[in-house]
Amino acid sequence: MKRLIVIFMSIVFVSFAMKGKEKHKVVVRDLKIVYETTDGKLDGAYVSYYKNGQKKAEGNFENNYRKGTWKMWDTTGTIRVERDYENPFVFKGLMPKVASKQPMPPYTLQYNKEGYIDNFFVEEKMVVWSKQLWRFVGVQENPLLFEKNRLFDILYKNMVGGLITPYDANDEEFQHPMPTSKIDTSSFQVIGYKIKEDCFFDNVRYVSESRIIGICPVGVTKQKQDTVNVSWLYFPEIRKCLAQERIIAKGLPSYINTYDDLFFFRYFYGQIYKESNVWDRPISSYKSGNDIEKEAENIEINMIETEHDFWMHFAK
């Protein structure tokens, strides 16, 4: 338990050190990347360079999603890909105009009768690469999730009402339901949320996407100050409940109206603390101090550059 406190408190402290508009420079896979963030979210110019100094990719992010025109070059400086993003999931291919014989299917962002936007249907054969990531969502960059403890109150209310099934605090596979009576809300204070997500590249739409599959409130016990998982929740099951809860705050993008919108459009910052790999270990088990943050950043940027590699591959 003491180890858990060290792991999550270090993430919380790193989170508090990152706020406002920032410019970052990092080297990943012999690529030099310069990018901007706002409160941890990808927001602003992004440029990557090959080892020889030639640009590889250039474009802009807005609140964690690609926006407007993106371009990509090969190592000789020849432009190979140019896209104009209509929304986070659909782009117009300017170069090459036809990436394959299979046209991109339409995908319209429409709300269903439950009040949320359905994910694009993806078959297993469409996925050419995938990875699971675990993030820790802290207080500083995500005030909307912690103000008056509202998100947890929403989740707990629906657990008690039987609309959301709580799973064991260590059950990330959602196999072992637990009674809500085991959650003593008076014994802890929520300090963050763990998020488990599937990330993949879709070879029909030619885009990468991340989908949340689980969320777990993390609390600090009031007596012993231990860090504890409260309960894992299967995210697809809670979307309907989140879609019924409106968010009203200054500065929100026009498309963020509910708590489900906030998660669907990824209007949050969560630092990676684990990725799926052969070791199945958290970053804190092989890095310490500031190196935890650096490793999380490397994983994040590598994901972006992996998508660029697929753009190049399918442009041939």
Query: What are the CA-CA distances from residue 140 to residues 183, 211, 225, 254, 264 (Å)?
Result: 25, 23, 20, 22, 20
What pLDDT score does 316 carry? 74
What pLDDT score does 105 carry? 62
Flag residues of the chain having pLDDT under 50.
1-18, 98-101
Give pLDDT tens digits for 143-195: 999 999 999 999 999 999 999 999 999 999 999 999 999 999 999 999 999 99
Contacts of 89 (CB under 8 A, 6+ apart): 107, 109, 120, 205, 207, 209
What pLDDT score does 20 carry? 85
Domain containing 50: what range? 2-314
Q: What domain count does the chain have?
A: 1
Q: What is the mean pLDDT of the chain?
A: 91
How many whole angstroms separate alpha carbon 207 and alpha carbon 105?
12
β-pairing verdict for 127-137 and 90-95:
unpaired
Retrieve residue 175's tokens: 């196999």
